[in-house]
Amino acid sequence: MVISTLVGFIIGFFMPIMASRFGKILPADPGLVCAKLWHRPRFPKGVTPERRKKFFIKWMKMFGASFLWGLVMAGLFWNAYLWIGPEHIGWTGCFLVIICLLIIVDHQFFLLPDFFTLPLLLLGLTNAYVNPIPVNNLNFFNPTGTIFDHSDPMGASLVGVWFGYFLSLVSVFCMAHFRKVEFGAGDVKMIVALGAWLGWSALNYTLLLSFAFFVGRCFVTHKKSGAFGPSLGFAAIIVFFILYAK
């Protein structure tokens, strides 16, 4: 448990630094993102004291964000080890890391890049086929016990993917008749990917919770629009832990 918590902190510490690169390289093909993502920091020579002060403040803010996300990821990995189990920490860790990176990138740049959403989808389908995490609280989300449940992990994952896609399609189609739609393609891809991990029934609750988070955020910030990815990501993490907790 200590090792997984430490690994979570280290991963979380470097996530804001990694996410800060996306504002300079996106939109781009995933292969180009891989080539441009990591680089050696360059410090300009002969800067004035005023610019040096600005650089210092910038790096202090980055360090603060890195330390905060390190604590967040350490807590998530610690809870994943306790509530889901050490045998599934690898798959759970992949889910948590990608979701949190999507939260950070969308918050900063209003982008949900394919570089994260597509691997999230593929990992969800692969997990359902190779090493499905046992679902212990499905009745909480699907009390009627319909055929589209997690008795067949691969089937439930595929149903979740299609359900997420068609639900997004219908929602945007209906909204377009009343006002300009601000639901981006990245949001749709993220919802589809979450369907692979959570299944159709839990995905419903995820969307409802994410809308509640988004409305609360708009109420607090006094803004009628904003990035939807953070609300969706936080809701997905909560539902994921409820669904897969032992």
Whether cis (ω within 30° of 0) applies to the bond prior to 27 is yes
Residue positions counted in the chain: 246
Compute the distance between CA of residue 51 and CA of residue 35 in angstroms, rounded to an integer. 29
| pLDDT given for residue 55 in this prediction | 73
* Tens digits of residue pLDDT in 44-70: 666 677 777 777 787 788 888 899 999
Closest among 96, 66, 70 to 81, alpha carbons compared: 96
Token duo for residue 37: 């993502």
| pLDDT given for residue 235 in this prediction | 94
Burial class for 72, CB neighbours closer than 10 Å (0-12, 13-18, 19+): middle
* Tens digits of residue pLDDT in 75-126: 999 999 888 888 888 899 999 999 999 999 988 888 888 889 999 999 999 9
Inter-residue contact 80 to 96 (CB < 8 Å)? yes
* Tens digits of residue pLDDT in 142-179: 655 554 556 677 888 888 899 888 888 887 777 666 66
Token duo for residue 205: 């609750």
Of 5-9, 35-39, 67-71, 190-194, minimum mean pLDDT range: 35-39
Residues of 174-204 as b/e, b for ≥16 C-beta within 10 angstroms?
Answer: eeeeeeeeeebebbbbbbbbbbbbbbbbbbb
Residue whose structure tokens are 């190779």: 130
Range 131-146 average pLDDT: 67
Q: Quick check: helix, strand or coil at residue 125?
A: helix
Burial class for 136, CB neighbours closer than 10 Å (0-12, 13-18, 19+): middle
Residue 73's pLDDT band, with cuts at 50, 70 and 90, is very high
| pLDDT given for residue 76 in this prediction | 93
Compute the distance between CA of residue 17 and CA of residue 3 in angstroms, rounded to an integer. 22
* Tens digits of residue pLDDT in 178-227: 666 566 678 889 999 999 998 888 898 899 999 899 888 888 877 777 78
Token duo for residue 145: 């016990």
